[in-house]
Chains A and B, each alone.
Chain A
Amino acid sequence: MSEQVREQDIRFVQGNEACALAAMYAGLDFYAGYPITPSTEIAEILAERLPAMGKKFIQMEDEIASMCAIIGASLTGHKVMTATSGPGFSLMQEALGYAIMAEIPCVIVNVQRGGPSTGNPTHVSQGDVNQARWGTHGDHAIVALSASNHQDVFRMTVEAFNIAETYRTPVILLFDEVVGHLREKLVMPKPGEIPLVERLHTSVREGVNYHPYLPREDGRLPMSDFGDVHRYNVTGLFHDMWGFPTDKPELVEELMRHLIRKIDYAAVSLTYHKAFYLDDARTILISYGSSARSALALVERMRQRGQRIGLLELQTIWPFPNQLVRRYTEHAEVIGVVEMNMGQLVQAVRLAVKKPQRVYLINRIDNRLITDKDIRQTLRAIQGKGV
């Protein structure tokens, strides 16, 4: 074993454990959650680890309360997270909208399972992609990230906290049952290896007018913790720059535009992706989460046979990376979107590309992991080669 390898902290963990470890790495102070398969391990690990670090874990009475509790804890200046799965994610939607409206940094993990309703708790799907985008009512922007392996689960979890703090927004981590429960290697990043974004506090002194909802020139909104010198209002109603309710048309419009733009204008810097063999690819697979693992396996096998196929793995699901997808697929003859649902992200891909008629859905919907063989069969059908 080389010296370098020995110095590394290498672990054999579940994806859910990688997520919990990453949350602690990112500085998680407060976790509230409710048991639900297949995300429960995240709560179990944090229930043990957070108190030992002097931090807080609370099991709430349901997922609604969990989401509300983390928003409350965020307002006292803490980094917060909750984790859940399908039905729990449905219950969180109203408070998620509150966090969007009141601009509260928080991280929500959804380890996707089969749905709708109780669906298939112990098996995989990617059926919550559009719920993550539009689950809460009203116009809004959202950030949702994904990952296909544990190194990336770790990285994306840390980035979720960074984005939440930078943009004062909830960030959804859209994992799935396969990634959550799979065990594989994780090389623990060293402290400082992944930069962390801390809460931006206002420098406005006591007695000077502080505007919690007035963006600085760089678009950021410095916060003041509950308990600090500035007393202001936080509400889910449309509000003015002090946080007080308003229905003045110009202020309503201004806030709506701000909430959308702060994410849309940052879309490029919020885009995380991985490109595999895309330079000369004529067949391009687009995937995310555990289905991207199968897509990559197929791409590598077909490359060995000299086929010009590549994979674009999207780690940022929302805001959808339109420019990136358009650029990579410019010369593609076939664009196959690999996902485990009836076709959710494929809709966004069709809107992004130049030739939507070249976009095909390659899916599996029986709550079993899509395999490289499944993808190959569908590709052959698309290319008229028979199955």
Chain B
Amino acid sequence: MSVHDYIRERFFPHMWCAGCGHGTVLNGLIRAVAELGIRKGNLVMVTGIGCSARISGYVDFHSLHTIHGRALAFATGVKLSKPELHVIVPMGDGDGLSIGGNHFIHAARRNINLTALIMNNRTYGMTGGQFSPMSGLGIKASTAPYENIDNSFDCVELAKAAGATFVARTTTFHVNQLSELIKAAIQHKGFAVVEIFTQCPTYFGRKNRLGGAPEMLKIFKERTVPVGSTKKAEDPSLIERGIFVEIERPEYCDTYQKLIERAQEG
């Protein structure tokens, strides 16, 4: 199947700003799904609220556009009630790690077979560029006019600590890696997290004088290194990308099935 078969072309051009990285994430996601050859009818995309959440409108899967921060909770209901479905849950950094932070750690803890994508642009784009828990110290935002004094999360460390069994990170500059990591995440049996740095030139870039989309992509290129790179040892401020965790552990729906068998013996 061609990538076009996986999108709802009648809704294009999409609503994201010129230069936004979210379209690149959509592209990488569709390529991953197409290369895996997953039947569209077996795919459910669950999203929350925000720029990121609009991605579910553009894919020709079963699509569930829910409320702010709760996509993983809805997805848990979908998955546990019909485990044969592939459930992909793209979230923004505010959606997934601020208002949805609790659901994120608990979905990871359960190791339920969901593919969670954190489209991290370090801001709330839909509402006009407020700071998020991923913005970091010193960042300017519409609600941090002097500068942000909130510490940020490290999504990878958070996912690891919470029990996710697949944890990866990449950026919208590294489009091939993006697609490959999403593929691996979908194929992984268990809770899989892929953090994707994506640029918001409209708010994050403008407010922090980072230039437009090309300049922001260049930062992704220059400030990230492959996992285990020696450059990281020389310059600890560099951010690693690649696969951080890939382990096998009992998956929630599988374990639930065993629980059913035990309950039925009793």
Contacts and interface: CB of A to CB of B under 8 A. Distances in A.
Contacts of B61: 231
Contacts, number: 131
- Max chain B CB contacts within 10 Å: which of A54, A58, A65, A78? A65
Interface stretch (A172-180, A222-230, A371-379): A222-230
Interface string B28-70: 0000000000001110101000000000110011111111001
A61 B77 CA distance: 13
Interface in B104-121: 106
B11 A69 contact: no
Interface string B228-266: 000000000000000000000000000010011011101
B77 A73 contact: yes
A227 B82 contact: yes
Interface string A95-109: 100100000000000
Contacts of A65: 70, 73, 76, 102-103, 106
23 contacts: A29-B81, A30-B80, A30-B81, A32-B77, A56-B81, A58-B80, A68-B66, A68-B77, A69-B74, A69-B76, A72-B77, A74-B77, A75-B64, A78-B81, A98-B66, A226-B44, A226-B64, A227-B41, A227-B44, A231-B62, A232-B63, A233-B57, A236-B65
Contacts of A95: 67, 70
B76 A54 contact: no
Contacts of A229: 41
Given A68-B73, A68-B74, A228 B82 contact: no
Contacts of B263: 48, 51-52
Contacts of A70: 77
8 closest Cβ contacts across the A-B interface?
Answer: A72-B77, A69-B77, A68-B73, A73-B81, A65-B73, A51-B263, A73-B77, A76-B82
Given A61-B106, A76-B78, A227 B264 contact: no
Contacts of A54: 260, 264
Interface of A is mostly: mixed
B85 interface: yes
A234 B64 contact: yes
B84 interface: yes
A244 B64 CA distance: 10
B88 interface: no
Interface string A233-256: 111110000001100000000000
Contact of B76 (A72, A78, A228): A72
B75 interface: yes
Given A72-B64, A231-B63, A237-B65, A226 B78 contact: yes
- Max chain B CB contacts within 10 Å: which of A70, A76, A237? A76
- Max chain A CB contacts within 10 Å: which of B11, B42, B77, B260? B77
